[in-house]
A and B are shown apart, each in its own frame.
Chain A
Amino acid sequence: AQKVTQAQTEISVVEKEDVTLDCVYETRDTTYYLFWYKQPPSGELVFLIRRNSFDEQNEISGRYSWNFQKSTSSFNFTITASQVVDSAVYFCALTRGSYSSASKIIFGSGTRLSIRP
């Protein structure tokens, strides 16, 4: 069975602080994909990143960075020098790498991030 756990329900930090959102996943597949989505107050989920199970290189995109560690089944997301506009709910998600009728995208329960001015 596949499962995604985001243990942090809510995080609140002061602007310009760095913040890390944790994501732990469970899967028996050797090929899988991990995602992060941002859901601002407007409600739309915005795609941030996709990473396949064979690529453990960390990725940096501006103030965002992702740390993928298969050894601990974690795919953590760090925002450096946070800004008020980063306030949103962030979801981690998992899916199988190969398509089958049993494939589904499994989302975590989300972490609500509040950045205080």
Chain B
Amino acid sequence: EAGVAQSPRYKIIEKRQSVAFWCNPISGHATLYWYQQILGQGPKLLIQFQNNGVVDDSQLPKDRFSAERLKGVDSTLKIQPAKLEDSAVYLCASSRVAGRLTDTQYFGPGTRLTVL
């Protein structure tokens, strides 16, 4: 079974530029998550999708961050415009069962973003 795929693995941009990350979850997984992991900290949930609907985006800075999950499969996370404090690893995860945070989440390798 293929794991969660993410691209790019690394991205360096100047502040105020835009950037987009892509995630392909494990086939058949209903729930998809985006996390932000700042260096030295644990992951923080940004947004959770159940199929193609948003379940929780309460910690997503909506003035600059946006995310979508097309057809309930792939997802993109966009930052526009980026700030220095957005430098972090962005992790995508998926889980099989819809609507259960207790279900095991499988994580991708992450995208390391550096904002200069």
Is the A/B pair a real complex?
yes
Give residues in A with beta carbon < 8 Å to B.
4, 33, 37, 42-47, 50, 52, 91, 93, 95-97, 99, 101, 103-105, 107-110
A93 and B99 contacting across the interface, CB-CB below 8 Å: no
Interface class of chain B by DSSP: loop
Give residues in B with beta carbon < 8 Å to A.
3, 40-45, 55-56, 58-59, 89, 91, 93, 99-102, 104-110, 112
- Taking the closest CB of chain B, its distance from the CB of A4, in whole angstroms, is 8
A109 and B41 contacting across the interface, CB-CB below 8 Å: yes
* A47 CA / B110 CA spacing, docked (Å): 15
A105 and B106 contacting across the interface, CB-CB below 8 Å: no
B41 and A99 contacting across the interface, CB-CB below 8 Å: no
- Neighbouring B residues of A43 by C-beta, 8 Å: 89, 91, 109-110, 112
* A45 CA / B76 CA spacing, docked (Å): 20
In the A-B complex, the 5 residue pairs with the closest CB atoms? A107-B42, A45-B107, A95-B101, A43-B110, A33-B102
11 contacts between A and B (CB under 8 A): A43-B109, A44-B107, A45-B91, A52-B102, A93-B42, A99-B99, A104-B45, A105-B45, A105-B101, A107-B44, A109-B40
- Neighbouring A residues of B41 by C-beta, 8 Å: 109-110
* A110 CA / B104 CA spacing, docked (Å): 19
| Additional A-B contact list (14), CB under 8 Å, known A44-B109, A47-B105, A104-B56 | A33-B102, A43-B91, A44-B3, A45-B105, A47-B106, A50-B104, A91-B43, A95-B101, A97-B102, A99-B100, A101-B55, A104-B101, A110-B40, A110-B42
* Partner of B101 from A42, A46, A96 at Cβ < 8 Å: A96
A101 and B43 contacting across the interface, CB-CB below 8 Å: no
- Taking the closest CB of chain A, its distance from the CB of B111, in whole angstroms, is 9
